[in-house]
């Protein structure tokens, strides 16, 4: 085991397999069943700093359950989840978020009654000072500049003061992503960011995700059904079928793997 | 424009409030102060329900706790010292007694709020309603049966209005307006604190847990902690209202703190406007001031030969009002007013697609 809790003195040299050295998320032997259904059966993988890992698989392959186990929405039956060397297995989602893990949801989850800017301020405020200090501090927790920067970054400028509920689906999806990045997370888990987003917007989203990855060095894990999107966004891909990882590698490797082809087409 | 209108409305209201105690009769002062006291308690329910999306059926019970604590502290009998022996004697000294009573009531109801909300947080939100329902019934039984503490059905009588900063507040002809001014000042402070809370990051977090607790949790918001806070602060507003209620009526018994008045608070918020700062004031006016007028009109109508109105009761009008409000103005009278004064804007959908690069159909 490495000890990443202290800042690593190592230079960011790639390991022999060509991947960065520092492990941000380490999932070991995570399993979860519901009654007799084994949704996830002992999945292990790791994500290195700055990587964009795609998690793909047919419907019912356990992607969402795995996500929920990592993010504290569900407590895994066994196994461990480690982020930056800290064991976070079974921690509450709010605690995970404050450790620097952001997420988006498969179904849209913005706050419709709040404006776009308020949504973003909300997404960052719990990282600013103590709760008591926030009560007596400024109304925006000092986050208006950060929120405006994020609004510009995701090109939502003309909508900043609109209620989030009034935005189009694609715009809400962008806002959802922007919220996940508001607190400057080290690790972001995106659950079907491309779902229901039209083609032009998709390019926009992909390009923004690449930009934020390059700019902040944040690490992403992406669940996605849209193969085109996932192949062009991700640097590595894990394929899940029936609760197990059946293939892992670069997009090109995964695409030509016979097991993957069978899992998608064989049934 | 709207901002200016709101500011003007607030200025007019403040001027009217400052002028009113001088011109109103003693009874008029009583009605005015009652309205404000009920509005303070309703503000608490508004925080719990309108902002944080929780449900409380115990606000009248919390008012009762504040009222009984205050009654004991103002009467300063031996019971007060038996119960609050840790409370420094200097705080019950007359010039401070009103403030220390308010502080004690707020603190007690705040802690009680945390205590009763805590067990219901692990489960879905309606259980908080059930817990508070049971708590109200329990409190009412204590108020009615524990005679050594509450005087039972006869209640606690002869609660003196204390003097504050040397201002005599007794209900005598010369001083009754002073107490109204005191209540106005307390209401102003309570309203300002509420405004501050709902405009702070806390208010945003409360709104977030009302709208989508799951998403809020994923953004680092401690949902349990904020629910407790909203409930405890809202309950403390009930305690403060009760603390003002006791010297206002000078006599307390269990009936105003039963379940029905607790339910009435919910209706006040619905009629007045959930999640709006003016809502509790409008709701309290409908629930407290309107019945007095209706009774007057009713007796005049009956006296003029319209006997049919003798069966007409305020409850019917209130019920009709609640149903109508829900049907035509789901955000209450305050929301209706906001909609009516809102400047009409051109839909902006024309320009939003292009800048985002969305395909327009």
Q: What is the mean pLDDT of residues B233-246?
A: 97
Residue B204 pLDDT:
95
- The alpha carbon of residue B216 is apart from the nearest alpha carbon of chain A, in Å, by 8
Report yes or no on B75 lying in a domain: yes
pLDDT tens sequence across B156-201: 888 888 888 778 887 777 788 999 999 999 999 999 999 999 999 9
Share of chain B above pLDDT 70, in %: 86
Residue B144 pLDDT:
93
Task: Compute the distance between CA of residue B139 and CA of residue B262 in angstroms, rounded to an integer.
Answer: 12
User: Would the pLDDT of B358 be above 70?
Assistant: no
Report yes or no on B281 lying in a domain: no
pTM check: above 0.80: yes
pLDDT tens sequence across B128-153: 888 999 999 999 999 999 888 888 89
Q: What is the tally of structural domains in chain A? A: 1
Q: Using an 8 Å CB-CB cutoff, list chain A residues near B199.
A: 139
User: Would the pLDDT of B251 be above 60?
Assistant: yes
**Mean pLDDT of all residues in chain B?**
84
β pairing state of A219-223 and A101-103: unpaired
Taken in order B157, B162, B168, B169, is the CA torsion positive or negative? negative
> Which residue of chain B is at minimal alpha-carbon distance from A107?
B215
Q: What is the tally of structural domains in chain B? A: 1
Cross-chain CB nearest to B208 (options A122, A136, A171)? A122
Quote the domain boundaries for residue B57.
17-258
Q: Using an 8 Å CB-CB cutoff, list chain A residues near B338.
A: none
Report yes or no on B313 lying in a domain: no
Cross-chain CB nearest to A159 (options B212, B220, B352)? B352
**Residues in chain A where the model's pLDDT stays below 50:** 1-13, 267
> Which residue of chain A is at minimal alpha-carbon distance from B351?
A158
pLDDT tens sequence across B101-119: 899 899 999 999 999 988 8
- The alpha carbon of residue A232 is apart from the nearest alpha carbon of chain B, in Å, by 19
Helix, strand or coil, per DSSP, at residue B21: helix
The secondary element (H helix, E strand) that includes residue A125 is helix A116-125
Confidence of residue B354 (pLDDT cuts 50, 70, 90): very low
Radius of gyration of the CA atoms of chain B, in A: 22
CA B63 to chain centre: 9
CB contact under 8 A, A126 and B207: no
Report yes or no on B189 lying in a domain: yes
Report yes or no on A101 lying in a domain: yes
Residue B189 pLDDT:
96
How many CB pairs lie under 8 A apart between chains A and B?
Answer: 112
Report yes or no on B263 lying in a domain: no
Please check whether residue A116 is in contact with residue A201, taking contact to mean a CB–CB distance below 8 angstroms.
no
pLDDT tens sequence across A200-228: 888 888 888 999 999 888 899 999 888 88
Q: What is the mean pLDDT of residues B91-95?
A: 55
Confidence of residue B350 (pLDDT cuts 50, 70, 90): very low
Q: Using an 8 Å CB-CB cutoff, list chain A residues near B348.
A: 158, 162
Q: Which of A156-160, B47-51, B334-338 has the lowest mean pLDDT?
A: B334-338
Does the ipTM surpass 0.95? no
Q: Which of A173-177, B60-64, B84-88, B181-185 has the lowest mean pLDDT?
A: B84-88
Report yes or no on A41 lying in a domain: yes
Q: Using an 8 Å CB-CB cutoff, list chain B residues near A71.
A: 218
> Which CATH number goes with the domain that contains A254?
3.40.50.300
Q: What is the mean pLDDT of residues B62-79?
A: 84
Q: What is the mean pLDDT of residues B310-318?
A: 70
- The CB density around residue B350, as the number of other CB atoms within 10 Å, is 9
CB contact under 8 A, B215 and A109: yes
- Which residue bears the tokens 């602060």? B233
Report yes or no on B126 lying in a domain: yes
Report yes or no on B11 lying in a domain: no
> Read out DSSP for A60-75?
TSSHHHHHHHHTTSS-
**Residues on chain B bordering chain A, Cβ-to-Cβ distance under 8 angstroms:** 197, 199-202, 204-205, 207-208, 211-212, 214-223, 225, 348, 351-353, 355-359
Report yes or no on A39 lying in a domain: yes
Residue A15 pLDDT:
61
The residue among B347 and B260 whose pLDDT is bigger is: B260
Report yes or no on A158 lying in a domain: no
CB-based contacts of A103, cutoff 8 Å, min separation 6: A67, A71, A97, A180, A188, A189, A190, A191, B218
Report yes or no on B312 lying in a domain: no
Q: What is the mean pLDDT of residues B273-293?
A: 88
Quote the domain boundaries for residue A199.
23-111+185-265
Q: Using an 8 Å CB-CB cutoff, list chain B residues near A122.
A: 201, 204-205, 208, 216, 219, 221
Residue A3 pLDDT:
39
């Amino acid at each position: 085991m490495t000890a990443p809790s202290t800042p690593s003195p190592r230079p960011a040299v790639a390991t022999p397999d060509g991947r960065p050295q520092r492990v941000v998320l380490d999932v070991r032997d995570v399993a979860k069943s519901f009654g007799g259904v084994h949704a996830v059966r002992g999945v292990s993988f790791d994500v290195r700093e700055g990587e964009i890992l795609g998690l793909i698989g047919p419907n019912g392959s356990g992607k969402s359950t795995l996500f929920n186990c990592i993010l504290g929405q569900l407590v895994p039956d066994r196994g461990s989840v480690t982020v930056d060397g800290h064991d976070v297995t079974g921690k509450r989602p709010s605690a995970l978020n404050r450790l620097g893990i952001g997420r988006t949801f498969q179904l849209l989850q913005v706050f419709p009654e709040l404006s776009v800017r308020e949504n973003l301020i909300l997404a960052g405020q719990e990282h600013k000072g103590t709760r008591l200090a926030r009560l007596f501090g400024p109304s925006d927790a000092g986050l208006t500049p950060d929120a405006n920067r994020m609004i510009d970054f995701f090109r939502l400028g003309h909508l900043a003061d609109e209620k989030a509920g009034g935005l189009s689906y694609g715009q809400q999806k962008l806002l959802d992503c922007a919220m996940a990045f508001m607190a400057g997370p080290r690790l972001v888990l995106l659950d079907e960011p491309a779902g229901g987003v039209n083609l032009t917007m998709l390019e926009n989203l992909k390009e923004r995700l690449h930009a934020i990855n390059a700019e902040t060095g944040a690490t992403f894990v992406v669940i996605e059904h849209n193969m085109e999107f996932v192949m062009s966004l991700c640097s590595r891909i894990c394929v899940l079928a029936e609760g197990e990882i059946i293939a892992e590698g670069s997009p090109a490797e995964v695409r030509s793997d016979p097991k993957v082809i069978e899992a998608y087409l064989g049934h | 424009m709207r901002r200016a209108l709101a500011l003007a409305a607030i200025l007019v209201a403040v001027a009217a409030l400052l002028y009113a105690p001088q011109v109103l009769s003693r009874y008029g002062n009583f009605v005015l102060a009652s309205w404000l006291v009920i509005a303070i308690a309703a503000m608490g329910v508004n925080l719990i329900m309108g902002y944080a999306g929780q449900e409380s059926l115990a606000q009248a019970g919390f008012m009762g706790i504040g009222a009984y604590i205050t009654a004991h502290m103002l009467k300063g009998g031996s019971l007060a010292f038996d119960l609050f022996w840790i409370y420094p004697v200097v705080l019950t000294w007359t010039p401070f007694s009103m403030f220390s009573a308010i502080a004690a009531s707020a603190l007690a109801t705040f802690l009680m709020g945390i205590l009763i909300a805590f067990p219901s947080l692990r489960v879905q939100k309606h259980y908080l309603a059930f817990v508070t329902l049971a708590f109200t019934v329990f409190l009412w039984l204590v108020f009615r049966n524990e005679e050594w503490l509450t005087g039972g059905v006869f209640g606690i009588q002869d609660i003196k209005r204390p003097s504050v900063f040397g201002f005599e507040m007794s209900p005598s002809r010369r001083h009754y307006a002073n107490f109204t001014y005191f209540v106005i000042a307390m209401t102003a402070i309570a309203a300002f604190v509420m405004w501050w809370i709902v405009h702070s990051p806390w208010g945003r977090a409360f709104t977030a847990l009302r709208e989508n607790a799951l998403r809020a949790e994923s953004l680092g918001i401690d949902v349990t902690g904020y629910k407790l806070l909203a409930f405890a602060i809202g309950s403390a507003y009930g305690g403060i209202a009760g603390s003002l209620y006791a010297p206002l009526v000078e006599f307390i018994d269990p009936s105003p703190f039963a379940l029905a008045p607790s339910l009435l608070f919910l209706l006040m918020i619905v009629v007045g406007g959930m999640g709006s700062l003016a809502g509790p004031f409008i709701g309290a006016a409908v629930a407290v001031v309107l019945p007095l007028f209706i009774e007057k009109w009713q007796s005049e109508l009956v006296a003029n030969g319209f006997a049919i109105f003798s069966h007409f009761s305020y409850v019917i009008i209130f019920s009709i009002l609640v149903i109508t409000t829900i049907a035509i103005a789901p955000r209450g009278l305050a929301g209706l007013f906001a909609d009516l004064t809102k400047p009409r804007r051109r839909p902006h959908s024309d320009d939003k697609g292009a800048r985002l690069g969305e395909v327009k159909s």
